[in-house]
Amino acid sequence: MAKKTWGNGLRPKSKDAPPPAPLPKEHEELCNHCGKCCYKKLIIGKRTYITPFPCDYLDTETNLCTIYETRREVYPECLSIEVGLTQSAFPEDCPYVPVMAPPGYKPAHEDYDWSADWQDFDAFADEMEADAATRAKLRARGPTAPPMHVEAYAKILADPTTLAELMKAGKKQ
């Protein structure tokens, strides 16, 4: 089955394009910190899937970005909301989708069975350009474990105060 690697989203067409203007505050507040858009994507057939591999800059315990303020310079593959919504970077249940997605937007899917890819895990991890720590963590978890963002989001829902404190301390999403 042909697969094409994406970064956390696709690199914008021109790396020299100016960064998009900041979102209005009411839009920024739509994010619920589910973390799904910060996991790498694969196009399989005609669908885009969210893989178990996180962006190197994601804190997988909190679903917060560790370089939020400088992400555009440090990691150009990190897409703005506007660009990501042209490239299936966000899942259907992301709150930005009903508000900002263009007509016909095709969301990223979460229902792929990765078991076959675990049979040659190193090749899969190479394709996803995973670092050693992420590789070890995911290999140990196995293909049927829930994605790490699910566990982090459950913690956020159980203890929203900690999330608020982390964001006050400079971590964001």
Give the containing element (helix H, strand E) for 5: strand 3-5
Task: Residue 67: count other Cβ atoms within 10 Å of its Cβ.
Answer: 17
Nearer to ligand SF4 by Cβ, of 97 and 118: the residue is: 97
Nearer to ligand SF4 by Cβ, of 8 and 87: the residue is: 8
Restricting to residues 43-82, name those near ligand SF4 by CB under 6 A.
55, 57-58, 65, 67, 71, 75, 78
Restricting to residues 94-133, name those near ligand SF4 by CB under 6 A.
94-96
DSSP 40-78: EEEEETTEEEEEEEEPTTEETTTTEETTGGGHHHH-TTS
Nearer to ligand SF4 by Cβ, of 102 and 119: the residue is: 102
Shortest distance, position 55 Cβ to ligand SF4, whole Å: 3
**Alpha carbon distance 154, 160 (integer Å):** 10
C-alpha neighbours within 13 Å on the C-beta side of residue 156? 22
CA angle 81, 82, 85 (to 5 degrees): 80
Q: Which of 37, 85, 152, 163 binds ligand SF4 (CB under 6 A)?
A: 37
**Alpha carbon distance 90, 84 (integer Å):** 7
Q: Which of 23, 27, 31, 86 binds ligand SF4 (CB under 6 A)?
A: 31
Nearer to ligand SF4 by Cβ, of 109 and 118: the residue is: 109
Shortest distance, position 116 Cβ to ligand SF4, whole Å: 26
Q: Which residues contact 88 (CB under 8 A, 6 or more apart)?
A: 41, 48, 105, 106, 107, 108
Shortest distance, position 167 Cβ to ligand SF4, whole Å: 13
Shortest distance, position 142 Cβ to ligand SF4, whole Å: 23
Binding residues vs ligand SF4 (CB under 6 A): 8, 31-38, 55, 57-58, 65, 67, 71, 75, 78, 90-91, 94-96, 173
